[in-house]
Structure 1
Amino acid sequence: MTPADRHDYLGEGLLEQHLAATPWRQASAWLEAARERAGAEGDVPEPTAMSVATVDADGRPDVRTVLMRFFDPSGPGFVTNLESAKGRQLAGNAGIAASLTWPAMYRAVRFRGTAHRLPEEQVRDYFGHRPWGSRVSAWASRQSQVIEGREGLEAAYARYAAQWPDRGGVDDVPVPPFWGGYRITCDEVEFWAGRRDRLHDRLVFVRAGEGDLDDPSAWRVERRQP
């Protein structure tokens, strides 16, 4: 057996007295730090890359990486093809978990809760601000479906690009009827901070009542062992 590589985590950790009053404020602070690191240090190339886990009809977990396109006190959100594997799985079981992980910073944020479809108006507004090519690819890709080769994908893209040429407008490409997004209504938000000797910090906001991510009365905090 090949010995495993060893790398000690040199993070600052996270103590209760330094934790923000709400999960929204703590996550926002860490996200802003990650974005700053993306520019200054260059070692956090995609700060909003978020792993999203769902469960299929047989109860088996499934995970993939998306970009977190929305984040406010209502929760994190992302867009997708609603007929994709994740879309079909969420239609059958709305339970969801997601995480933002920044290895260079020895930090991660974990969200657990329930997925809710984004309003059509919000989807249309976001879709219109995507680059033209990304809007075309939303039509060309039947996400998660089998295709024989890349040629078929590129041919579909060329067909839709010709149908809806780039004229510089937000309405150049219509929103596909099978395209939408989800918001995660959280029951737990965990903040993981790596430390030496694997004695990491895990501080978890657990839902204690009604309220959004910026309502202190809706949450209690517990420390979990690493």
Structure 2
Amino acid sequence: MSEERLTSGDFTEQNEPFALFAEWLKDAEASEINDPNALALATVDSDGMPNVRMVLLKGFDEHGFVFYTNFESQKGQEILGQKKAAMCFHWKSLRRQIRIRGHVSVVSDAEADAYYESRPRGSRIGAWASKQSRPLEGRFALEKAVAEYTAKYAIGSIPRPPHWSGFRIEPVSIEFWHDRPFRLHDRVEFRRDATSGGWQKVRMYP
């Protein structure tokens, strides 16, 4: 990838955010050492206090951005309670960032089942063994739970836990940021009033 490509501001001329996201993610897959699909996910609890953590993007299309988790976890409970979330991708090697805000829906059972089946067997066992976000009395308790579920599902398929599925963030805002010299960065935000509406593009001061 040329230096001209990395510093060009031509992305500001594009009018469709999902195609631009796909292009930037492809660039990140070629340049980032680990997890180019990693993102910071922000949620809010019932008291209005924010939380943020890293998760992995597992799919996206014009309907939104998908990740999977334990619905009994802290983030799962906060999303189910508020039905809103935000995410931020930061690709240091490219000096690029994308921020996304939107409403959240649960993926279909068919989508969750298909992704769950694609995971390594150990990860599927882990989805049963881990009481995510809850206190753990010691590492042995987790290892014991893993051993118990490994024995339980020693033969045949491992069913998807009822508390494990995926969320889709349906964006109402997608902002693209690209580093430029002297902090005169390029920022373009795509906005819409509803998840099914058309996009308005706004160029922002850095």
1:159 and 1:204, CA in 2 relative to 1: closer, same or farther beyond 3 A?
A: same
Partner of 1:113: 102
Deviation at 1:208, TM superposition (A): 5.2
The 2-side partners of 1:112 and 1:13 are apart by: 26
- Per-residue CA deviations over 1:99-120 (Å, capped at 9, x if unaligned) read 1110111011111011111111
- Per-residue CA deviations over 1:111-144 (Å, capped at 9, x if unaligned) read 1011111111110111111110110000011110
Partner of 1:60: 49
> SS state of the match for residue 105, structure 1?
coil
1:133 and 1:166, CA in 2 relative to 1: closer, same or farther beyond 3 A?
A: farther
2:22 matched to 1:28? yes
RCO comparison, higher one (Cα < 8 Å, 6+): 1
The 1-side partners of 2:92 and 2:30 are apart by: 15
Deviation at 1:162, TM superposition (A): 1.2
- TM-score, structure 1 length as denominator? 0.84
Deviation at 1:50, TM superposition (A): 1.2
- Correspondences of 1:1-226 after superposition (within 5 Å): 12-13=6-7, 15=9, 18-38=12-32, 44-165=33-154, 172-207=157-192, 211=196, 218-226=198-206
The 1-side partners of 2:11 and 2:94 are apart by: 20
8 Å contact 2:11–2:20 — kept in the other structure?
no
8 Å contact 1:13–1:201 — kept in the other structure?
no
The 2-side partners of 1:61 and 1:209 are apart by: 23
Q: Which consecutive aligned stretches of 4+ in structure 1 deviate over 6 angstroms post-superposition?
A: none
Q: Which amino acid aligns with 2:170?
A: T
Structure 2, unpaired ranges of 5+:
none
The 2-side partners of 1:79 and 1:31 are apart by: 19
Deviation at 1:90, TM superposition (A): 1.2
8 Å contact 1:11–1:195 — kept in the other structure?
no
Q: Which amino acid aligns with 2:159?
A: P
Identity %: 37
The 1-side partners of 2:193 and 2:172 are apart by: 9
Q: How many residues get paired?
A: 203
The 1-side partners of 2:119 and 2:6 are apart by: 37
Structure 1, unpaired ranges of 5+:
1-9, 39-43, 213-217
- TM-score, structure 2 length as denominator? 0.92
Deviation at 1:15, TM superposition (A): 3.3
